[in-house]
Copies of this chain bind each other. A is one copy, B any other.
Amino acid sequence: MSELSPTERSTIHRGRKRAVTDRDALHAVLDAGLICHLAFVADGAPVVLPTGYGRHGDTLYLHGSTGAASLRAAGAGAEICVNVTLLDGIVYSRAVFHFSANYRSAVVHGQAEPVTGREEKLAALRVITEHLAPGSWDYAREPNQRELAATAVLALDLTEAAVKIRTGPPGDEPEDLDRPTWAGWLPLHRSWGTPRDCPLLPDGVAVPAHVTGRPAPDQDTRDSATG
């Protein structure tokens, strides 16, 4: 497992015991998320918006309309920051001060590179589509020339990244432990509902297996951890 980058801004100063420094953990968080939060600077002020993404190796792909201000701002060689956070539960402590959340969070810093070649763009869009909706790239119609031109794709290298994971019970003060106050954590789960048909669907088109059989979103397998 390779170490994550050690630059100043990607070094976790708060809660260092929660920092995870191997690349497999970074990949796992990015793969478990469904959307990311993309931050960029516009007119000197920060902006953060939800965005679709996908990961291939140590590259994160983002996409959006070529008309979107976020993609334009982020694509001009400017610095961006991407965060993927999975909230795994709420931590109830004996003291208000120690209330917290269990979560897995990945932060990536860097300059996004526009993906422009036709084959590269199609490959990146396949990664993003398969992340959002596995099994869909080979099932749905591929982008045509016009659609491809209307889609901006960015590549972000995962070199400068940090992962922070919190699991288990609260970190109360020793003097509070005897209080008759309940403390623990309430896990948060994500699940898929029943697929809903588009009202314009022709008769007889069934929900495909890659939708009905889509694996449940990654649960916090660390629910039972005490760390």
Interface residues of A (CB under 8 A from B): 9, 13-14, 34-35, 37-50, 52, 64-65, 67-69, 79-83, 85, 87, 89-90, 92-97, 99, 101, 103, 105, 107, 109, 125, 129, 132-133, 136-137, 139-144, 147, 150-151, 169-170, 172, 176-202, 204-208, 211, 214, 217, 223-224, 226
Judge whether A46 and B46 touch: CB under 8 Å: yes
Of all A-B residue pairs in the complex, the 9 with the closest CB atoms, nearest first, are: A187-B193, A39-B48, A45-B79, A39-B46, A169-B198, A97-B147, A39-B39, A183-B198, A50-B85
Judge whether A13 and B48 touch: CB under 8 Å: no
Q: A9-B42, A201-B183 known; A37 and B83 CB under 8 Å? A: yes
Give the complex CA separation of A89 and B191 in angstroms: 10
Judge whether A41 and B42 touch: CB under 8 Å: no
Given A13-B68, A37-B37, A99-B136, 4 more pairs with CB closer than 8 A? A46-B48, A48-B107, A92-B211, A185-B195
Judge whether B81 and A50 touch: CB under 8 Å: no
Residue of B whose beta carbon sits closest to that of A204: B180
Contacts of A207 in B (CB 8 A): 182, 184
Residue of B whose beta carbon sits closest to that of A122: B96
Minimum distance in angstroms from A214 CB to a CB of chain B: 7
Minimum distance in angstroms from A88 CB to a CB of chain B: 9
Judge whether B226 and A79 touch: CB under 8 Å: no
Q: A48-B81, A49-B83, A206-B182 known; A9 and B43 CB under 8 Å? A: yes
Give the complex CA separation of A15 and B224 in angstroms: 42
Partner of A35, one of B101, B109, B224: B101
Contacts of A201 in B (CB 8 A): 182-184
